[in-house]
Chain A
Amino acid sequence: MNIFLELVHFLQAPNELLRWFIDLLGSFGLPQWILAIISALIIIGTVIGVFLGLFALMSVMERKILARAQNRYGPNRVGFFCWRLCGLFQPVADGIKMITKEDLVPRTADQVVHLLAPVVMMIPALMVLAIIPYGRDMVPADLNAGILFFFAVGAGTEVAVFMAGWASNNKYSVLGAMRAIAQMISYEIPLVIAAIIAAMISGSLSPSAIVAAQGGFAWGFVPQWFVLTPWGFAACLLFYIAALAESNRSPFDLPEGESELVAGHLTEYSGFKYATFFMAEYIGMFAVCGMLVTLFLGGWQAPLPFLTIIPSWCWFFGKVCFVAFTMVWVRATLPRLRIDHMLAFAWKFLLPMSFAAFISAACWHYAGRGPLAWLLSLAIVGIPYLVLGTAFSNRFAVSRRTYQFSE
């Protein structure tokens, strides 16, 4: 019984398990700095392992979800010896294929930069995982400016994309990389403004403080997540759309628009380097999903009071998986945008809307966070949305095509 309770306790707080293990090692007389290194290595290994596992799962689940949305089965063959297991071993087969493939480098490519680009892409994707609160007291690095760190380091992927495009010495690669840069820089602004709104309301740039600000329940059962306020809902959607663009996902996957650009900056990559890009993109996507959950969906907080018995990290990863699922859902639904539509959308719609959400959040705060504040912030977000949205739909409305000569 005691062991069972211990087990439940460790499930609730795996960080306690780590502390227990480190104390055990400390009791053997190991010096403090070695303990610190071991503890750090365990945390890093766990985080990277979990996210690589999520990447592997996502790579097969995305295909299965897309297939189901199109009334197909999706990958369901690769199994373990004679067990098929719904094709869940597909990532293993993909991984073996990617590793054993020939690594082609164009003769005229910049060999060093071509080799470095996937590595440079991977590093920020892994580094930003450090500041996300995965559960109660489970932040690998609890920086007091964690949000700033996330966006500052996360912007490093843009350099990698351009390195890849430039080093490949291929016109499609350069064009794709330029598109990717244009897209990422344009969408970074609404992304950061949406994040600033959450930081502003909770009064801190530390992700754990932002999660703590969303804790507790109004009237005992309504969670106080930012997404449940008008400005928070708007900011969450803005962040979500910008996150789709930042992680080059459909409908903003123009940098890899195969119909015009082969595969954009990935054109000249094959084998394991391509796999590294792919992996970095997915891990970056999970990181930005984690940030979305932290900023607006209450982080590791349970949605109802009695559900707190489920470990906090389960809630966090459940929410991340839900957001990732919606991203696949959006991919199954929306076609790819045209490049000028995409940039116009960023600058003429998302940017004004993020300012509106910003002002709305400020008004909500200064109007006392009461019912009046709700109405005020709803109006400040809703009216620009209707006006801008209508103007935008009229601007890009599809009219019946008329033929000059054939009718």
Chain B
Amino acid sequence: MNFPGSGIIKGLAVTARNFAGSYFEKDRLTTEQYPEERPKLPENSRSFPFLIYDGEDPEAGMRCVSCKICEKECPPQCIYIIQDRDAAGKAIKRPKIFDIDISVCMSCQICVEVCPFESIRMDQDYELSSFDRFGSLILDKSKLLKSNAYYQSIHPTEAAETDARFEADRKKKEAAAAAKAAAAEKAAAEKAAKPPITPEAGA
């Protein structure tokens, strides 16, 4: 049917269909009502870096050894590390201060690429707004440290790969240690079995 004004009627039908349809077909409404409904982030999405710890205690399980490679590589220089020292003043493989200024960080992930200890990884937390312009945007160690389980939950593939590698390394180390121990034992046994060379015998 094509008569003058039929285009308007067709248009009205389209809007009416959308209007009524939005009440009955839930998948028409693509809006995520944010505070109640959270988006399912893709695995590779990233916001800012965080530090991983193993086990229960963040301080004890910290993977970071304060090698400062990330600090040196960071293009906008948003990472600040001070190495910890023991009572005698000897350096310990652990950061005393580890700060990331996320108002400076550009989420380039270079720190993640260079970290030899799989210690720094990208977070997915995006609710980082604050009323304070500077202070709350500098994340210190207590805010940066998050458990390996959390890492598993946000980047499962990456985390599984890392954990498998750690497991393999641990097994290899164990095997090496076992072999070493066995060799040492063998050596000791041989040593014990062999009669001691006495000066008299050779004489």
Q: With contacts defined as CB atoms under 8 Å apart, how many contacts are there between chain A and chain B in the complex?
A: 48
The one of B19, B23, B29 that contacts A329, using a Cβ cutoff of 8 Å: B19
Interface flag for B130 (CB, 8 Å): no
Q: Which residues of B contact A76 (CB under 8 A)?
A: 33
CB–CB A385/B18 < 8 A: no
The one of B12, B22, B31 that contacts A330, using a Cβ cutoff of 8 Å: B12
CB–CB A71/B15 < 8 A: no
Q: Which residues of B contact A334 (CB under 8 A)?
A: 8, 11
Interface flag for A399 (CB, 8 Å): no
CB–CB A389/B31 < 8 A: no
Q: Which residues of B contact A80 (CB under 8 A)?
A: none
Interface flag for A332 (CB, 8 Å): yes
CB–CB A333/B22 < 8 A: no
Q: How large is the interface on B (under 10, 10 to 19, 20 to 34, 35 or more residues)?
A: 10 to 19
B residues 1-47 touching A (CB-CB < 8 Å): 3-5, 8, 11-12, 14-16, 18-19, 21-23, 28-31, 33
CB–CB B19/A65 < 8 A: yes
A303 to chain B, nearest CB (A): 21
CB–CB B12/A333 < 8 A: yes
Question: Which applies to chain B's interface (DSSP): helix, strand, loop or mixed?
Answer: helix
In whole angstroms, what is the CA distance A206 to B14 when docked?
Answer: 39
Interface flag for A68 (CB, 8 Å): yes
Interface flag for A69 (CB, 8 Å): yes
Interface flag for A73 (CB, 8 Å): yes
CB–CB A71/B18 < 8 A: yes
CB–CB B23/A73 < 8 A: no
**Given A68-B23, A73-B29, CB of A333 within 8 Å of CB of B15:** yes
Interface flag for A72 (CB, 8 Å): yes
Q: Which residues of A contact B15 (CB under 8 A)?
A: 69, 329, 332-333
Binary per-residue interface labels of chain A (321-340) against chain B in the complex, 1 for a CB within 8 Å, 0 otherwise: 00000000110111000000
Q: Which residues of A contact B5 (CB under 8 A)?
A: 389
Interface flag for A393 (CB, 8 Å): yes
Interface flag for A37 (CB, 8 Å): no
Q: Which residues of A contact B14 (CB under 8 A)?
A: 333
The one of A73, A329, A333, A385 that contacts B4, using a Cβ cutoff of 8 Å: A385
Interface flag for A70 (CB, 8 Å): yes
Interface flag for A347 (CB, 8 Å): no
The one of B4, B12, B18, B22 that contacts A386, using a Cβ cutoff of 8 Å: B4
CB–CB A68/B22 < 8 A: yes
| A390 to B, closest residue via Cβ | B4
CB–CB B12/A71 < 8 A: no
**Given A65-B19, A392-B4, CB of A73 within 8 Å of CB of B12:** no
A residues 42-87 touching B (CB-CB < 8 Å): 65, 68-73, 76
Q: Which residues of B contact A72 (CB under 8 A)?
A: 22, 29, 31
A77 to chain B, nearest CB (A): 9
Q: Which residues of B contact A392 (CB under 8 A)?
A: 4
CB–CB B8/A333 < 8 A: yes
| B5 to A, closest residue via Cβ | A389
Q: Which residues of B contact A330 (CB under 8 A)?
A: 12
In whole angstroms, what is the CA distance A89 to B15 when docked?
Answer: 26
B residues 139-174 touching A (CB-CB < 8 Å): none
| B11 to A, closest residue via Cβ | A333
Q: Which residues of B contact A70 (CB under 8 A)?
A: 18
Q: Which residues of A contact B21 (CB under 8 A)?
A: 71
CB–CB A71/B3 < 8 A: no
In whole angstroms, what is the CA distance A385 to B3 when docked?
Answer: 10
Q: Which residues of A contact B11 (CB under 8 A)?
A: 333-334
CB–CB B31/A393 < 8 A: no
| A76 to B, closest residue via Cβ | B33
In whole angstroms, what is the CA distance A180 to B102 when docked?
Answer: 52
**Given A70-B18, A332-B15, CB of A389 within 8 Å of CB of B4:** yes
Q: Which residues of B contact A393 (CB under 8 A)?
A: 4
| Listed A/B pairs (21) with beta-carbon separation below 8 Å | A68-B18, A68-B19, A69-B15, A69-B16, A71-B21, A71-B29, A72-B22, A72-B31, A73-B31, A329-B15, A332-B15, A333-B8, A333-B12, A333-B14, A334-B8, A385-B4, A386-B4, A388-B4, A389-B5, A390-B4, A392-B4
7 further A-B pairs in the complex, CB-CB below 8 A; given A68-B22, A329-B15, A333-B12 = A68-B18, A69-B15, A71-B18, A71-B30, A73-B29, A388-B4, A392-B4
